[in-house]
């Protein structure tokens, strides 16, 4: 990222990207690959009361906290949005978003449809992507093959997916995660194209346009 020496502000404003998908679609897999492909893309690490899955690390996938701590953070208004998903609380930290935006970094949020609605009300320029599996049956297969959730948890997530998918119309972009490589490429295209949006380039262009005044 290049900085403007005059005021130390980054030339480009960072964007906020939301990715939502029914659990098991492949969102975490695609996000992991996207982050390797695209530089300057931060990931918002949410707070959750869900227990960690095998292989998950505190501070990497999530900050794993107790219900009491989550409530304290809610009371202190630390979350830009929060929601109850599959019986657990999940929340996005205001501070993380602000820090990244101030540094001119893009931030990626993996949040559910309720959280996205709340966020979009507060930050309307949010860029949103809804990921879908090729079919319900394929989603079921992916959840089972992941071997990370108990059968009753899988059943709950599958049931929730029926409602979640109905929200696809509220998103800016739709990607079907059929072939992994194609889906990652599509995500990359969206993130890179957003960097040229007027909102992101405005600061720089205003400086340039000043040089055209008078004379
Ligand atoms: P989510 O984060 O959406 O809950 P995961 O990234 O954990 O989902 O993926 C769920 C399972 O599906 C994993 O076992 C993953 O390897 C697999 N998977 C992801 N993308 C694809 C794909 N395009 N085709 C087949 N399997 C996939
Ligand atoms: P998982 O438990 O599988 O990691 O995530 C379950 C769901 O919670 C996913 O749909 C994920 O997008 C959502 N989620 C994760 N973090 C947040 C958050 O901070 N806010 C909201 N609203 N949803 C979240």
pLDDT for the residue numbered 115: 96
For the Cβ of 154 lying below 6 angstroms from any atom of ligand 2, the answer is no
In terms of pLDDT, which residue wins out, 2 or 82? 82
pLDDT for the residue numbered 2: 52
For the Cβ of 117 lying below 6 angstroms from any atom of ligand 2, the answer is no
Using the structure block, give the residue that is written with the tokens 């929730």: 160
Distance 204 CA to ligand 2 centre (A): 35
State how far the alpha carbon of 148 is from the alpha carbons of 19, 56, 152, 204, in Å: 21, 11, 12, 47
118-136 average pLDDT score: 96
CATH number at residue 181: 3.40.50.300
Residue range(s) defining the domain that contains residue 150: 16-44+106-210
In terms of pLDDT, which residue wins out, 97 or 1? 97
Would you say residue 5 has pLDDT above 70? no
Q: Please report whether residue 67 resides in a domain.
A: no
Give 84's strand partners.
89
Nearest protein Cα to ligand 2, atom 10: 112
Q: Which of 180, 186, 193 is nearest to 28 (CA)?
A: 180
> Judging by beta carbons within 10 Å of its beta carbon (0-12, 13-18, 19+), is residue 164 exposed, middle or buried?
buried
Residue from 142, 164, 186 to probe ligand 1 pocket by mutation (most atoms less than 8 Å from CB): 142
Q: Which of 126, 106, 117, 130 is nearest to 44 (CA)?
A: 106
Distance 141 CA to ligand 1 centre (A): 10
Q: Please report whether residue 170 resides in a domain.
A: yes
Closest ligand (CA of 178): 1
Q: Please report whether residue 57 resides in a domain.
A: no
Q: Please report whether residue 131 resides in a domain.
A: yes
Q: Please report whether residue 38 resides in a domain.
A: yes
Would you say residue 3 has pLDDT above 50? no
Closest ligand (CA of 19): 2
Distance 85 CA to ligand 2 centre (A): 7
Distance CA(119)–CA(87), nearest Å, equals 20
Distance CA(24)–CA(161), nearest Å, equals 9
pLDDT for the residue numbered 141: 96
pLDDT band at 9 (very low <50, low <70, confident <90, very high): low
Domain count, the chain: 1
Q: Please report whether residue 192 resides in a domain.
A: yes
Q: Which of 147, 149, 116 is nearest to 130 (CA)?
A: 116
Q: What is the largest CA-CA distance in the chain?
A: 73
Q: Please report whether residue 49 resides in a domain.
A: no
Distance CA(101)–CA(106), nearest Å, equals 7
Distance 181 CA to ligand 2 centre (A): 23
pTM: 0.92
Q: Please report whether residue 30 resides in a domain.
A: yes
Would you say residue 209 has pLDDT above 50? yes
pLDDT in tens, 136-181: 999 999 999 988 788 999 999 999 999 999 999 999 999 999 999 9
pLDDT in tens, 58-97: 999 999 999 999 999 999 999 999 999 989 999 999 999 9
Distance 23 CA to ligand 2 centre (A): 9
pLDDT for the residue numbered 11: 72
pLDDT in tens, 179-191: 999 999 999 999 9
Beta pairing, strands 127-132 & 16-20: parallel
27-37 helix and 180-194 helix, angle to the nearest 10 degrees: 60
Per-residue HEC secondary structure of 115-161 comes to HHHHHHHHCCCCEEEEEECCCHHHHHHHHHHHCCCCHHHHHHHHHHH
Strand boundaries in the chain, DSSP class E: 16-20, 41-43, 46-48, 62-64, 79-85, 88-93, 106-110, 127-132, 173-176
């Amino acid at each position: 990222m290049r900085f403007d020496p005059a005021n130390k502000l980054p030339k480009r404003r960072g964007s906020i990207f939301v990715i939502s998908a029914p659990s098991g679609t492949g969102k975490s897999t695609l996000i992991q690959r996207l982050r390797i492909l695209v530089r300057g893309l931060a990931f918002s690490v949410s707070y959750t009361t869900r227990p960690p899955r095998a292989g998950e690390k505190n501070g990497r996938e999530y900050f794993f906290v107790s219900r009491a701590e989550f409530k304290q953070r809610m009371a202190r208004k630390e979350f830009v949005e929060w929601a109850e998903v599959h019986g657990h609380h999940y929340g996005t930290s205001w501070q993380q978003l602000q820090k990244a935006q101030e540094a001119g970094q893009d931030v990626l949020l993996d949040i559910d449809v309720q959280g996205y609605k709340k966020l979009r009300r507060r930050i309307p320029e949010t860029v949103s992507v809804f990921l879908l599996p090729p079919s319900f049956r394929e989603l079921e297969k992916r959840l089972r093959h992941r071997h990370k959730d108990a059968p009753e948890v899988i059943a709950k997530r599958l049931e929730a997916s029926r409602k979640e998918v109905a929200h696809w119309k509220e998103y800016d972009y739709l990607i079907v995660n059929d072939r992994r490589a194609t889906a990652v490429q599509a995500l990359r295209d969206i993130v890179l194209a957003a960097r040229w949006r007027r909102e992101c380039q405005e600061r720089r262009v205003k400086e340039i346009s000043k040089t055209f005044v008078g004379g």
